[in-house]
Structure formats: structure tokens, C-alpha cells
Amino acid sequence: MEKLQALLPILNWGGDYRKDDFRADVIAGVVVLFITVPQVIAYAFLAGLPPEAGLHAALAALVAYAAFGSSRTLAVGPTAIIAMMTLEVASSFATPGTQDYATVTVKLGLVTGIVLLVLRLVNFGNVISFLSHAVVTGFITAAAILIITNQLPAVVGLSSSADTSVVGVLSYLSDNTVNVVALIVAATAIVLLVFCRLQMEKLLLSMGLGQVLASALARSAPMYVVIIGILVTAFLGLNETHQVPIVGTIPTALPGLALVPLSLTELRDLLPSALLIAMVIFMESASIGTAMASRRREKIQPNQELVGLSFSNMGASLVGGFPVAGSFARTVVNFSSGAHTQMASLITALLVLITLVGFAPLFYYLPKAVLSAIIVISAMQLIDITVIRKIFSFNSTDAVTFTFTFVAVLVLGVESGVIIGIVISFVLLIRSSSRPHIAVVGRVGDSEHFRNIRRHEVITSPSLLAVRIDESLYFVNTRYIETFLFNEVADKPDIKNVLLICTATNFIDASGLEMLEALCENLEEVGVTLHLAEVKGPVMDRLKETDFYHRMEGEVFFTTDLAFKKLAGI
């Protein structure tokens, strides 16, 4: 039973589910619907797909995640970033708008689902985050700019530009006649959305509404602009009198099974992109899920998240959708509307289904300019100046990584950009650990504390060189450390003992051991003895098995204090 619960997290909360939980979940499920419908239609549009693709994907993803996901509040479905990545990948195989293109996105969803499951099998959830905060921020900021640029033609009532680069879109705009009415519609929608975002909650609160209700109503802004957009367009007949592009007919039907045959060649072609998309999906979803879970002392199982997201993507693909991820906006709404369990997502899914079957025709007059407005506002929210400023002020390595990723994504596209960012972040990481911080330390007064002689007033002895190496001893830094120590010893002929304080030495590899042996041997030739102190348990376990440990003349001290007393008498 416990094993089954681990595989199907729905059983965890399904067992002791109460009336109270249901009441809370119903409220959250309904509230989330109002942001889900406009967003997923908009993101389908962003991905170059018809509205139903977004609704179908959301429906399947919500149900699959509810059964297999480990977060109780994550809302899964189409998101702006993943829609943008889908557009970039699928465009290189087919022309957006065609049936072939839709088929490619369905296959991409399937391959992404498969990749996520394979990542689960290799225990990826517990292994590495390849994407540093700087890479992610650079990538998301640049992707947001690409998304906004990509929507500019739709904002002014044009069809998409063939050249999706920033320069291409701008020249496309200048070469074509703008539909002023569409632009007015989009601009009005944007103003409304910004107003709701910034002022509506305060306004409602001042009118005496409760916090939860006011927040929920404010966050449903996309639904209002959709409704207003539909009504205005329908009554004024803007689509006919002023050629404002509209969404048109959405099939009023249950999603059918889209069982697309996937050839090995296609699998191979889609695999690299799917791997990158899967990593971004996992990274986004896991971080949102973890943040929400921790606020209620709930747990997230990273590997189970991979399963939940895998089935969500395969499910979305099965009903003709495209890749999905945990949505930040919808998850926050779900959480703050008080969702207790994934039952809330099931209710949202049910309501999406009802919308599909019963209300799809109502979206006929929805202007595409309104969808673009929703996308532009969502994308602008992805650009977080505070985070960027933090990256630049905190760590210069991260600033370099951010800049490279940002520029690379803008110039070369999302895929190449992210890969360049990942490579740079690792190169810089290794570079920094190759020149570790090394502190020569002394005793603070007559305490048991030892600090850097350059930063604190400390007591030292000319015959003892006590150094704390703030890094593990391994191949990228052994030569640097060795050179540092030899040069110190060569400069100070009084030194008789060298003490390495290993508080920050988390592991020693064969290069590190070799370095210690050479160090020990060569120092002994000139009458200097090497000692160690504060070696950590796991490191000591390995060290005890080596010849070096048994041959070394010096001692391994439990504490720096004992070493100073014995070696320097201070």
C-alpha cells in the first residue's frame, strides 16, 4: 500500500479526504478556471496553435498531474515560456498554422513526456540542477522579450511574421499596414489588465470585500478583458467592419485521441529539444511546487514530480495538445484561493471540459489582439528587475552568466542560448574552485577560535604555518594549493610545521591525495612536517585506508586548538 501511495500520490490525500477539504477545493477550482481559460487559449495562440489545443492540453494535464504529481497545489498546463519554446522547436519542422505543425507539437509533447519519464528512471530529480539561477533569469528575461516581440504583429492586427527575430519582426511591422482598430482593442486590454493588476485588489478591499475574494477577483482580470473583448467585437461587428482578426470557431466537442505515429527518425530529431524543454519544465514546476509545499510543511518528491509532469505531457499529447508545465500564475491563485489538494485541479479540469462542450462558441468573437494583450502582460511579469539587480550586485560570476545567456537567447534563440548559458555557468564554476580561498589563520585571543590573520587580530607562531583551505582538494585546485604552500615555506625559513585545517574539505580525490603525499614527502626533505586538523568524518574514513595516512610523520588533530597547543605551544 505504501509503495502504491508513492506511485500514485492521489491515494495519499484520497483516503482521509473530508467535506471541509472539498469545500475549499471547489472554491479554488472555480477561481483558477477564470484565469486558466484565457491563459491557455492565449498560450496556444503564442505556440502557433488553435485555442482548443490549449484547452485540451490543460484538461489532460490537470487530470494526469492530479493523479501522479506530488504537489498538492501545483496547477499544470500550457505556460508562456514552454509555448514559446514549442513555437521555436516546431517552427523548424513545419509552418505554424498548418496541420503538419500541429502534429509536430503533439509529437513534441509525447517525446517530452517520454524524456521526463526517462529522467525519473535515472533519478534525475535527486541529481543535478544544471540550470543556475543566473542562467534561468537570463533565459526567462530574454524569452519574455522574444514573446513580446513575437506578439507585436498580432497586437496591430497582422498575422505572425515569418522571421521571428527581433529585427525581423520590427522590419515586418514597418513594411505592413497597421490595423488601428485592432491596436486600440489590444491597447485597451493592456490598460485594463495593468489596472486590475495594480489597483483592483486595493479598490475591492477598500469597498469592504474580504482579502481572498478581492484577490481572486483581481486575478481574474484576463477573464474580464476576454468577456469585454468578445462583447464589444460582437456588437460592433469589428471583425467585419474593420477586419479585426478573431479566434473563430472552436469545435464544441470532447477532445479526441490524437494517436500520432512517432517514427524513430522523428524521435531522434525531437529528442535534443525535448530534453531541454523537459529540463525547463521540471525546473519551473519543481521550484513553484517546492515553494508552495514548504509554506504548509508539506513535502515534494522531486522524482515523483517528474512522473507527474511526464504523464501530464503524455496526456496533453494524447488529446492533441502541446507541452505543459506547472504554471506560476495559476498555482499561486490556486494556493491563495485555499486549495487543499489536487481535487481543486480536478474541479478546474471538469469546468474546462464543460467550457469546451458548452461554451466554446461564445469565444467566436474573441479578438486575437486581446489574446496578445494577455500574453504581453504575462511576459512582462516574467521580467523581474529586482532579481536581475540582485544578480548583478551579489556575484560577478552570475552577472557574466546572466549577460551571456540573455544575449545568446536574444540573438541565437532559446535553445542555443540556454545551452551556452549552461556551459558558461559550469566553466566559471570550475574556474572559481580552481583558485580556492586560502586563509592563513591564528588563534583569536585565548579562545578556541581561529581566524584569518588578515582579517582578525590573532596569535601566530613563526614555526607554524596554519592554513585553512576553503575548498575540497581535487584535481582542479591541487596545483594551486601546492604552489601556494611551497611558496609560503620557501619564503619563511622558520617554518617547521605546516597545518592544513580541513573544515571546508568535503572530499579529496586521487589528485588531492597525490598532492598531499608529494607535499608531505617534499616538505620532510627540507625538515618541515605536515599535519592535518578537523578532517570530516567521511573524508577521514577514506584517508585512514591510505598508505599516506600511515606513513605521514605529522599528526591528524581532532581540533585546531589541540594542534596549536601541541605544535606551537600557543
Residues 426-445 that bind a second copy (CB under 8 A): 426, 429-437, 439
Residue carrying C-alpha cell 509536430: 104
Comparing C-alpha atoms, which of 69, 83, 27, 566 is closest to residue 322?
83
Among residue numbers 358 through 397, which ones bind a second copy (CB under 8 A)?
A: 387, 390-391, 393-395, 397
Beta strand spans in 42-178 (E): 76-77
Of 42, 523, 563, 567, the one binding a second copy by CB under 8 A: 523
Q: Between residue 273 and residue 292, which ones bind a second copy under the rule CB under 8 A?
A: 286-287, 290-291
Closest CA to 160 of 172, 144, 143: 172
CA atoms within a 13 Å half-sphere pointing along the CA-CB vector of 223: 13
Least separation, in Å, of the C-beta of 522 and a second copy? 4
- Within positions 203 to 262, which residues make up the interface with a second copy, using CB under 8 A? none
**Nearby residues of 290 by Cβ (< 8 Å), 6 or more positions away:** 300
Q: Which amino acid is at 208?
A: G
Q: Between 136 and 244, whose beta carbon lies closer to a second copy?
A: 136
Applying CB under 8 A, does 398 fall inside the site for a second copy?
Answer: yes
Task: Kindly tell me which of 12 and 433 has the beta carbon lying closer to a second copy.
Answer: 433
CA 432/CA 420 separation, integer angstroms: 18
Site for a second copy in 26-55 (CB under 8 A): none
Nearer to a second copy, 268 or 295 (CB): 295
**Contacting residue, 165, 188, 336, 522, with a second copy by CB under 8 A:** 522
Output the smallest distance, CB 27 to a second copy, in A: 21
Shortest distance (Å) from residue 502 CB to a second copy: 10
List of residues 6+ apart from 432 with CB closer than 8 A:
397
**What residues contact residue 356 under an 8 Å CB cut-off, 6+ apart?**
52, 55, 56, 59, 250, 252, 253, 254, 255
Instruction: Output the smallest distance, CB 218 to a second copy, in A.
Output: 22
Which residue lies nearer to a second copy by CB, 94 or 399? 399
Q: Distance (Å, rounded) from C-alpha 179 to C-alpha 158? A: 7
Q: How far is the CB of 545 from a second copy (least distance, A)?
A: 6
Please give the Cα distance from 124 to 118 (Å, whole number).
9
Among 197, 242, 536, 566, contact with a second copy (rule: CB under 8 A): 536
Between 19 and 550, CB nearer to a second copy:
550
Closest distance of CB 108 from a second copy, Å: 26
- Nearer to a second copy by Cβ, of 93 and 426: the residue is 426
Q: Pick between residue 19 and residue 297 the one whose CB is nearest to a second copy.
A: 297
Q: The cell 588563534 sits on which residue?
A: 443
DSSP3 helix / strand / coil % (the chain, rounded to 5): 65, 5, 25
Question: How many residues of this chain bind a second copy (CB under 8 A)?
Answer: 91
Cell of 94: 513545419
For residue 115, the minimal CB distance to a second copy (Å) is 19
Q: Please pick, from the candidates 240, 384, 448, 553, the single residue that binds a second copy as defined by CB under 8 A.
A: 448
Residue 132 found at the interface with a second copy (CB under 8 A): yes
- Give the nearest distance from C-beta 521 to a second copy in angstroms: 8
Helix boundaries (H) for 355-456: 368-382, 385-394, 396-412, 414-434
Q: How many CB atoms lie within 10 A of CB 173?
A: 16
**Which C-beta is closer to a second copy: that of 266 or that of 534?**
534
For the bound state, the minimum distance from the C-beta of residue 421 to a second copy, rounded and expressed in Å, comes to: 11
Residue 97 as a binder of a second copy (CB under 8 A): the answer is no
Distance of closest approach, residue 533 Cβ to a second copy, in angstroms: 12
Query: Is the CB of residue 57 less than 8 Å from the CB of residue 321?
Result: yes
Distance separating alpha carbons of residues 385 and 394, to the nearest angstrom: 14
CB of 40: closest distance to a second copy in angstroms?
A: 27
The x, y and z cell numbers of residue 528, run together, are: 618541515
Beta strands 556-557 and 464-469, pairing class: unpaired
Find the shortest distance in angstroms from Cβ 270 to a second copy: 24
* Binding status of residue 476 toward a second copy by CB under 8 A: yes
| Of 180 and 490, CB closest to a second copy | 490
CB 233 within 8 Å of CB 239: yes
Rounded to a whole number of angstroms, the minimum distance from the CB of residue 560 to a second copy is 11
In single-letter form, the type of residue at position 262 comes to L
Residues 478-497: x where in contact with a second copy by CB under 8 A, - otherwise, as a string: xxx-xx--xx-xx--x----
Of the pair 199, 447, the CB lying nearest a second copy is at 447
Q: Which of 165, 188, 503, 529 binds a second copy (CB under 8 A)?
A: 503
Question: Scanning the structure block, which residue is given the C-alpha cell 502504491?
Answer: 4
Q: Running DSSP on this structure, what letter comes out for residue 325?
A: E
Q: What sign does the dihedral 298-304-309-315 (CA atoms) show?
A: negative
| Parallel/antiparallel/unpaired status of strands 556-557 and 529-533 | parallel
Interface with a second copy includes 473 (CB under 8 A)? Answer: no
- Closer to a second copy by CB, 274 or 502: give it: 502
CB 510 within 8 A of CB 478: no
Of the pair 242, 496, the CB lying nearest a second copy is at: 496
Binding to a second copy, residues 289-328 (CB under 8 A): 290-291, 293-300, 302
Binding of residue 565 to a second copy (CB under 8 A) = no
